[in-house]
Amino acid sequence: MKIDVSLHKPEIKLESLKEDIKDFLKTSGWEKKLQNAVYSQLNVFPSPCHPAAPPEHMKEPLAYMRKAQGSWEKRILKSLNSMCTELGVPLAQKRSASEQKELLNKWNEMGTDEPDLSLFRPVYAPKDFLEVLMNLRNPNYENGDQPSFRNHLGLIQVPLKVKDIPELKEDFTELGLNIGQLGIDDSAQVPPEFFENEHVRVGQKVLAEQDSAAAQQYVRQGCPTALRADLWALILNISNQPEDILYYEQLKSNVIQHDLLVDSLIYKDVKLTASNDDYYFVFEDYLYQVLLCFSRDTSVLEHFTYSSATPPKSYIRGKLGMEEYAVFYPPNGVIPFHGFSMYVAPLCFLYHEPSKLYQIFREMYVRFFFRLHSISSHPSGIVSLCLLFETLLQTHLPQLFYHLREIGAQPLRISFKWMVRAFSGYLATDQLLLLWDRILGYNSLEILAVLAAAVFAFRAVNLMEVTSLAAAEAVLADLSTLKVMPLLQIFLFATVT
């Protein structure tokens, strides 16, 4: 940030220089920008640890979870290495000059490419990850074989603290029955004078003030479609300055120069998921432009200080074991799994400029999405979300929970894939964006678990009739007609507890 204070003006006096600079910061809007930047950092970074705590404690305080994450990562590395050896493809190599030129020419239409990806397979799918989470055990916890009050009735057996409905009601006050919501009070039957017009007016004011904290509070009641892109950018503190555009161009040149095995995994994932989706197939080219650059972005490595995961390491060919030639692979340390591209797809509805779309996705990833595929005890981590879902269902729909368990259809087996993808690809896009408004507004992913439980509650009558896991899956196969905000409101505020 460069501040150009013109010191030649006669009004500026030496004695009051300090005050003048403070006033200048206020009037030029830089004070607000500084506030937004500080607020953004407070949201992303966890509170400082005890000084005696080692760095791994900030990543994950529980030792057995760190160990489990380490084993899981080792499995992924082995899988990737064996794919490499089988296919005879190196993890990374430099592209020849002609290949580079060819890629540059078709940068905007990489979707038209049809490379042979039949031999590539995704490194892992959500159901493999669920198996690992099901086997997670605290060695200091009494996990007897006999069923007792110690064993949880669901699939997750670790005793993390999760919230109950009274605590969730307090946290999600703005979703209450007597507070206006977009997604409920903007429907065709409700005259816009009651809520919608005023809400839009307040939204415009928030954007004019450029205040991140106010925007975060505002989106808890939903974003008007016209203002959503700007409001999310304000909350995530993305301004798309020239240096950001330049950084994106540099990433693009890195993609052109080096070919990574991970690129083929990304291609395959996009072709298998987003390209087959009715809503997202039009954005296929954007997805490549974002995800290929994402793999080369070393700034993503910073999030590993507060994530329980560790980036995979490798050595330059022929220099095994020599620390000066140690590199991270991929450069951003994140190995994509089956469905990863669905984190980006909904954002394509909001942002059309590749550099801005890229930055928004990167910020969403290092704030939220990384928690959905790593093992940690964080309240927004996938383990806590699974336990929260199971506990909510068991407490408030005990008959349904028991019935599904008896027929061999543990509810988490069905809802896990929804939560890992943050419901992307399962809900209609407008409903998904209303849900992600609340994720940003509350800076937490717990709403995913609450929605999953609310969906089961909504279809409880049908689910009580099924007699097998396959039939239960069929009842819950299509969520595209669901309206998320009424479901959440009823589950949290209108269910008799």
Partner 1 sequence: MSGAAGPGPPVGPGRSPLPCAPRPAAALQLSGGTEPTRPGVAVIDLRFPRGAAADVSAAWGGTVQEIVFKNFYTAFLSVRVQRPGPGGSRRWVTCLRDMCLMPCPHTEQGAQDYFSLHRNQMLCDMDQVTAVRFILRQPSPVWLQFTIEELQIFPTGQKSPQTDLPSWLSQLTPPEQPASLHGELPDPEKVSTEVQQMWVLTEVIRTRQAAARIGRFDVDGCYDVNLLSYT
Q: Do residues 199 and 180 lie in contact, with contact meaning Cβ atoms separated by under 8 Å?
A: yes
Which token pair is 494?
């209108």
**Least distance in angstroms from the C-beta of 435 to partner 1:** 27
User: Hey, what long-range contacts does 58-64 have (CB within 8 A, 24 or more apart)?
Assistant: 58/305, 58/306, 59/304, 59/305, 59/306, 59/307, 59/308, 59/376, 60/308, 60/376, 60/377, 60/378, 61/377, 62/138, 62/377, 64/137, 64/138, 64/139, 64/140
Task: Decide if residue 9 touches partner 1 (CB under 8 A).
Answer: no
**Least distance in angstroms from the C-beta of 3 to partner 1:** 10
Task: Decide if residue 38 touches partner 1 (CB under 8 A).
Answer: no
State which residue, 95 or 405, has the beta carbon closest to partner 1: 95
State which residue, 97 or 494, has the beta carbon closest to partner 1: 97
Cis amide bond preceding 330, omega within 30: yes
**Least distance in angstroms from the C-beta of 369 to partner 1:** 21
**313, HSE (Cβ side, Cα atoms, 13 Å):** 10
Task: Decide if residue 11 touches partner 1 (CB under 8 A).
Answer: no
* 66-105 positions binding partner 1, by CB under 8 A: 74, 77-78, 80-81, 84-85, 90-94
Q: What is the C-alpha separation between 352 and 289, in angstroms, rounded?
A: 12
Binding window for partner 1 (CB under 8 A); candidates: 18-26, 108-116, 181-189, 434-442 = 18-26
Task: Decide if residue 392 touches partner 1 (CB under 8 A).
Answer: no
Neighbours of 158 (CB within 10 A): 21
* 107-166 positions binding partner 1, by CB under 8 A: 138-142, 150, 158-161
Binding window for partner 1 (CB under 8 A); candidates: 328-336, 343-351, 413-421, 473-481 = 328-336
Task: Enumerate residues 6+ apart whose C-beta is below 8 A from 264.
Answer: 89, 115, 117, 120
| Binding test (CB under 8 A) with partner 1, winner from 26, 121, 137, 313 | 313
Contacts with partner 1, 278-307, as mask; x by CB under 8 A: ------------------xxxx--------
C-alpha distance from residue 288 to each of 213, 252, 265, 271, 275 (Å): 32, 11, 11, 10, 11
* Residue ranges in contact with partner 1 by CB under 8 A: 14-19, 21, 49-54, 57, 61-63, 74, 77-78, 80-81, 84-85, 90-94, 138-142, 150, 158-161, 247, 250-251, 254, 258, 296-299, 312-317, 320, 324-329, 331, 377
